[in-house]
Amino acid sequence: MKRVVTMRDVAKKSGFSSATVSIVLNDAPLARYIPDSTKKRIERTAKSLGYRPNLFARTLRSKRSHTVGVMVFDMTDPYCTLVLRGIENSLYPSSYLPILTDAHNERERFERYLEMLLDRRIEALIVLANWLFVNIDVLADLESSSVPTVMIGRELQNPSVSSVMVDNELGAQIALEHLYSLGHHKIAFIRGPKALADSTQRWKGIRALAKAKLLELNPQLILNLPESSDPMSSFEAGYQLTEELLKQREPFTALMAFDDMTAFGAIRALANSGLHVPKDCSVIGFDDVAPSSLYTPALTTVRQPMEAMGALAVSIALEAINAVLDKREIKAVHRQIAPELIIRESTRSLL
């Protein structure tokens, strides 16, 4: 039953009032007038008593929670992990604590967790909009919240929400360029679900590059992932679409998948038909999720710099927090970040 030491204890023991203690320990503006000798004494007794300020009292009074909310739409998506690592890592030195919530792609959870986060007076919110199919209007709640918000993986119309995205157009081009330069001209495509913004952006890149290279895109070899709220489903869908593709008997020497999961599904389907990757068919993915490098064959893919994206989101959020502290206007910023081609074992030259 060791009573917890309070500020009053420090005050009493050091011989000053708790006001002085507070001012010193927070290095408040008034600390300017306090002589070093006093400061030292207070700090020493605070330490010797093992004083830890009560966060709840502090927040109640000062309105600052030193907390950042992080909302993910599906934790089990391997895409999340590294982004979260990036967020956590760059939040760590700032002594803000992230509070992570997982909406499970459900509107109800999203709303409930958002409320919980707001109840905890988060000073900023980072939303990881991976594999997101909920209506945009759910996100409208974010506007009203008056908490500075950064969205990763999706750009909102709303002018008050910042965003961090990978350059999807460029990424798709890099991937196609890679296949093309290896001599592949008959390329199958498994595009993403139509509802995903990423899909259209990537396709735009592909069309542009195809045009530039005079590469013909055979409509028979272009399939679309169905919509589903489960990110793992793209494995299953990749598998099935590839089987259909093979049944068509329209020949192709390479396959470009919407993401790594899809690529894994495709590879399985190819293997089932006795086709070896990369000997009989090259496969390229997108994202570079953690398993991709562990796969056999190791997957060639376009890497989203996920840790960097998380870090960037944090820096935007922190900047916004400072802005509201200084009562400056916060303006949303929208950043695109370049992907990187990771060449491994699943693609091979035709030549």
Partner DNA sequence: GTCCAGTATTAAAACGAATTAATAGACTAG
Partner DNA sequence: CTAGTCTATTAATTCGTTTTAATACTGGAC
Residue ranges that bind a second copy, judged by CB under 8 A: 52-57, 59-60, 65, 75-76, 78, 81-82, 84-85, 88, 92, 97-102, 109, 115-116, 118-121, 232, 235, 261, 264-265, 267-268, 271, 290-291, 294-298
Please identify, among the stretches 21-29, 108-116, 176-184, 203-211, the one whose residues bind DNA according to the rule CB under 7 A: 21-29
Cα dihedral across residues 292, 294, 297, 298: positive or negative? positive
Does position 344 bind DNA by CB under 7 A? Answer: no
Q: Is the link from the previous residue into 159 a cis peptide, with omega within 30 of 0?
A: no
- Residue 232 contact partner, candidates DNA, a second copy, none, CB within 5 to 8 A by sort of partner: a second copy
Residue type at position 174: I
For the chain, the straight-line distance linking the first and the last C-alpha, in angstroms and rounded, comes to: 77
Q: Which is nearer to a second copy, 23 or 261 (CB)?
A: 261
Least distance to a second copy, CB of residue 347, Å: 16
- Residue 19 contact partner, candidates a second copy, DNA, none, CB within 5 to 8 A by sort of partner: DNA
Question: How is residue 296 annotated by DSSP?
Answer: S
Least distance to a second copy, CB of residue 209, Å: 29
Contact 33, 12 (CB under 8 A): no
Does position 38 bind DNA by CB under 7 A? Answer: yes
> Rounded to an integer, what distance in angstroms lies between the CA atom of residue 120 and that of residue 139?
19
Please identify, among the stretches 57-65, 87-95, 134-142, 201-209, the one whose residues bind DNA according to the rule CB under 7 A: 57-65
Q: Which of 12, 13, 43, 58 binds DNA (CB under 7 A)?
A: 58
Per 3-state DSSP, the chain is made up of helix, strand and coil in percentages (nearest 5) of 50, 15, 35
Least distance to a second copy, CB of residue 97, Å: 5
320 to each of 7, 144, 164, 310, how far by Cα in Å?
A: 31, 16, 14, 15
Q: Which of 43, 49, 53, 106 binds DNA (CB under 7 A)?
A: 53
Least distance to a second copy, CB of residue 89, Å: 8
Does position 8 bind DNA by CB under 7 A? Answer: yes
Question: How is residue 241 annotated by DSSP?
Answer: H
Q: Could you tell me how many helices (H) and strands (E) the chain has, helices first?
A: 12, 12
- Residue 23 contact partner, candidates DNA, a second copy, none, CB within 5 to 8 A by sort of partner: DNA
Structure tokens at 229: 């709220």
- Residue 51 contact partner, candidates DNA, a second copy, none, CB within 5 to 8 A by sort of partner: DNA
Q: Which of 1, 4, 214, 294 binds DNA (CB under 7 A)?
A: 4
Least distance to DNA, CB of residue 11, Å: 7
Contact 345, 294 (CB under 8 A): no
> Rounded to an integer, what distance in angstroms lies between the CA atom of residue 336 and that of residue 286?
16
Does position 23 bind DNA by CB under 7 A? Answer: yes
Least distance to a second copy, CB of residue 271, Å: 5
Does position 95 bind DNA by CB under 7 A? Answer: no
Which residues of the chain form beta strands (DSSP E)? 67-72, 97-102, 124-128, 149-152, 161-166, 187-191, 222-224, 254-257, 282-287, 300-303, 334-337, 340-342
Q: Which of residues 298-327 bind DNA (CB under 7 A)?
A: none
Neighbours of 66 (CB within 10 A): 16
Which residue ranges make up the site for DNA (CB under 7 A)?
A: 4, 6-8, 15-20, 22-23, 25-26, 28, 30, 32-35, 38, 51-54, 57-58, 60-62
